[in-house]
Structure 1
Amino acid sequence: MTVTIKDIARIAGVSYSTVSKALNNSPLVKEVTKRKILKVAEEMGYEPNLAAKQLVRKKTDVIGLMWPTIERIVLATLVTNISKAFEATPYSMILSVDSPETAMDTFKKFQVDGMIVFGESNKISVTTDNIPFVIYGVSGKNETTSPIIDANHEASMQKAVKHLFELGHRHIAYIGHLDTEDALQSEKVEGYEKAMKHFGLNEYIQIINSNGLNWFDGYTAIDEVLGQEKLPTAIIGGSYDISGGILRALQEKGVRIPADISIVSYDNIPQMATMEVPMTCTGVPVDILAEEIVHTIIERIESDEEIESVKKLSPTLTERESSGPPPNKR
């Protein structure tokens, strides 16, 4: 049988309103009375009616995360870190990897207070019905007026090229997915080209299409690299998975990393340190990115004031064993 607030009031010998205030930790109830009421509630196995509380507050403390997939390791890692970041807040998270339309139907049923949307496409077509939301994407490319968390892929490529340039590399190739509909991937390519020109390496610009973002896409892309008359001395991989494939393919061909070819990868996740050759990587650390996403959606929900429309984050480069001087500098 369900225990109600009135049952607790009867056993504790206090009014219904006093029990209600005590359960909501109101300062209007004396501490000794509050402890007594909480003890009675626990002994009786009382469970609060969350639906009723939500109806009164008009708030569910639930945020929806609209995500394209959790099959890619980086996206799964980011989702895990977002979930951990929510643990330090009053909010819970529900995840949908369905189509935007299906995800929205799910979020409406749960009456979410806000949404986080992965802005992979250049066009965000989400009808939110006035639900506050933020986008993890690229500023200036997504057609939306909602706040955007921008991981600054251009700055990441700048750091990658600068790191390799300072080691002595000039012939630096980029391997990534050249999908013009994916704003995140296109900004990496543009960032690489811009950085190469910045360091006067125009003649060495070499972009190889992996035709995908998975491990096997990076693995097969190496055939095009090794088929050239003059090999690059360094490669920048467009993602963790792509770089893992690049690394394995080169090793199978007898190419030493970094003695023959250095590798720097986009994506700053802990798994980079445990690859076959610990990988030098560039990007916003995944835990910092997750915390910023969570902080921004909560701020969007709770603030009466307009929050900044773009939060462009600062990436870092973590140097590991996969990068070193080119062969002619050793």
Structure 2
Amino acid sequence: MAATIKDIARLANVSHTTVSRALNNSPLIKEVTKRKIVEIAQQLNYIPNYNAKSLVLQRSHTIGLFFTSLSRGTSSSFFADTMRGVNSIIGVEYNLFVRGIDDYSDYATIHPKRFDGIILMSQSDADNAFIEHVVNQQIPLVVLNRLIPGGSFVNIVSNDREGAGHAGEYLVAQGHRRIALIEGMQGFKSTEQRRIGFLEAIQAAGVDVPAQYIVPGEYSTESGYEAMRKLLQLDTPPTAVFCSNDDMAIGAMNAAFEMGVRVPEDISVVGFDDIKFSMYTNPALTTIKRPIEQMSAHGAEKILERIQLQASDEELIFHGTELIERRSTAADGK
């Protein structure tokens, strides 16, 4: 006869509820207890019956990971960092369903029988209708990336405005006065917050930014490339550029290289995010570290906790940003 949770509980001298939580990698169970239970389960060759468990607990064992859009404004590195963070926490006992909100004409298929919990990487106010639907369906929810106070869910964000301000202050301190901005996807909160923080910082230092120095992008390498070409073709090009993410900064540096403009000797470039590839560019990219992978892992921990506790209270968590100085920036010698 196959081993059961009760068999494991008897040998571990704990309740069957503790065994169930431990095998589901619940953060509520101490690691030493969890290891003991897992070892006993392995010794007994315990095989969980997920279909039976789903019927008893009325759970789908599916967690949804949603983005505002997977086709527009979500760079491959941003997506990869998010997936890596979530996947490092979510065990094999859960299916991970990944989708863009803009794929849906309505949210009728988003309900508690299909999703035990949802993690949303929110990039736009357009997500509010989706958030309202999930909350009304009483599905445990974690919202990453966008500050939304007053909701009955976990909200994990980084201070983009402050981080962009640090980028502006750094370039001013390097002696730059002709400083340009390559923006992210229009309509995204991150774009707005980084623009505000950056402009506030350099204007506070007495540096004006002419309109032609603010160029729209789409958070993609290609858009950064095209934006930098426009800036370098101006009669008076900038000596420094702040790009609203690292993908655009990498595209911008490639455009400069093709046009015979040296980084950082002729133009300094600062990015935002500190994606893994940024330290391997030539030159290595100076950037603002925003811990997307850590935020996503934290979000995954919180969704598992919410599923176990069926909690619906508001929880706001901030992750800080940090200037990472590398070789794509130099003092203005002009």
Provide the C-alpha distance between the structure 2 equivalents of 1:217 and 1:270, rounded to a whole number of angstroms: 20
Alignment equivalent of 1:117, drawn from 116, 120, 128: 120
Change in Cα spacing, 1:20 to 1:156, as seen in structure 2 (3 Å) is closer
Alignment equivalent of 2:316, drawn from 290, 310, 324: 310
C-alpha RMSD of the superposition:
3.3
Q: Quick one: which amino acid aligns to residue 56 of structure 1? A: V
- In structure 2, stretches of 5+ residues that fail to align are 15-37
| Aligned counterpart, 1:21 | 6
- In structure 1, stretches of 5+ residues that fail to align are 1-6, 10-18
Alignment of 1:227-238 (within 5 A): 227-238=233-244
Q: How big is each residue's C-alpha offset from its partner over 1:191-214, in whole Å with a ceiling of 9 and x where there is no partner?
A: 211122232323568642334222
Provide the C-alpha distance between the structure 1 equivalents of 2:75 and 2:41, rounded to a whole number of angstroms: 49
Kept in 2, the 8 Å contact 1:284–1:315? The answer is: yes
With normalisation by structure 1, the TM-score equals 0.78
1:135 equivalent in alignment to 2:139: no
Change in Cα spacing, 1:133 to 1:198, as seen in structure 2 (3 Å) is same
| Aligned counterpart, 2:81 | 78
Kept in 1, the 8 Å contact 2:82–2:292? The answer is: no
Q: Which moved more, 1:310-319 or 1:287-296?
A: 287-296
Please state how far the C-alpha of 1:178 moved relative to its aligned partner.
Answer: 5.6
Change in Cα spacing, 1:264 to 1:69, as seen in structure 2 (3 Å) is same
Q: Could you say which structure has the larger radius of gyration?
A: 1
Identity of matched residues, %: 23
Aligned with 2:125: secondary structure? coil
Alignment of 1:1-330 (within 5 A): 7-8=1-2, 19-23=4-8, 27-28=12-13, 42=45, 47-67=47-67, 68-69=69-70, 72-87=75-90, 93-97=96-100, 99=102, 101=104, 108=111, 111-123=114-126, 124-126=128-130, 127-128=133-134, 129-139=137-147, 146-177=153-184, 179=186, 181-202=187-208, 207-303=213-309, 307-328=313-334
Change in Cα spacing, 1:146 to 1:38, as seen in structure 2 (3 Å) is closer
Q: Which moved more, 1:92-101 or 1:251-260?
A: 92-101
Q: Which moved more, 1:164-173 or 1:113-122?
A: 164-173
Q: How big is each residue's C-alpha offset from its partner over 1:214-249, in whole Å with a ceiling of 9 and x where there is no partner?
A: 222111112321232322211001122211111011
Aligned with 1:125: secondary structure? helix
Q: How big is each residue's C-alpha offset from its partner over 1:296-327, in whole Å with a ceiling of 9 and x where there is no partner?
A: 33343344666544323211111111011112
Kept in 2, the 8 Å contact 1:174–1:237? The answer is: yes
Q: Quick one: which amino acid aligns to residue 125 of structure 1? A: A
Q: Quick one: which amino acid aligns to residue 162 of structure 1? A: E
Change in Cα spacing, 1:118 to 1:269, as seen in structure 2 (3 Å) is same
Q: Which moved more, 1:317-326 or 1:218-227?
A: 218-227
Provide the C-alpha distance between the structure 2 equivalents of 1:255 and 1:22, rounded to a whole number of angstroms: 70
> Whose relative contact order is higher, 1 or 2, with alpha carbons under 8 Å and at least 6 apart?
2
Q: Quick one: which amino acid aligns to residue 135 of structure 1? A: V
Provide the C-alpha distance between the structure 1 equivalents of 2:154 and 2:268, rounded to a whole number of angstroms: 37
Kept in 2, the 8 Å contact 1:177–1:213? The answer is: yes
Aligned with 1:169: secondary structure? coil
Provide the C-alpha distance between the structure 1 equivalents of 2:195 and 2:316, rounded to a whole number of angstroms: 21
Provide the C-alpha distance between the structure 1 equivalents of 2:160 and 2:39, rounded to a whole number of angstroms: 53
Q: Which moved more, 1:183-192 or 1:281-290?
A: 281-290
Please state how far the C-alpha of 1:284 moved relative to its aligned partner.
Answer: 1.6
Q: Which moved more, 1:162-171 or 1:186-195?
A: 162-171
With normalisation by structure 2, the TM-score equals 0.77
Please state how far the C-alpha of 1:107 moved relative to its aligned partner.
Answer: 5.5
Provide the C-alpha distance between the structure 2 equivalents of 1:104 and 1:21, rounded to a whole number of angstroms: 39
Please state how far the C-alpha of 1:261 moved relative to its aligned partner.
Answer: 0.6
Structure 1 runs (4+) deviating above 6 angstroms are 34-38
Please state how far the C-alpha of 1:189 moved relative to its aligned partner.
Answer: 1.2
Provide the C-alpha distance between the structure 2 equivalents of 1:315 and 1:201, rounded to a whole number of angstroms: 23
Q: How big is each residue's C-alpha offset from its partner over 1:48-85, in whole Å with a ceiling of 9 and x where there is no partner?
A: 32111222234455321012227722222223322333
Q: How big is each residue's C-alpha offset from its partner over 1:81-130, in whole Å with a ceiling of 9 and x where there is no partner?
A: 22333157975533224646479566648632210112122132112211
Q: Quick one: which amino acid aligns to residue 111 of structure 1? A: R
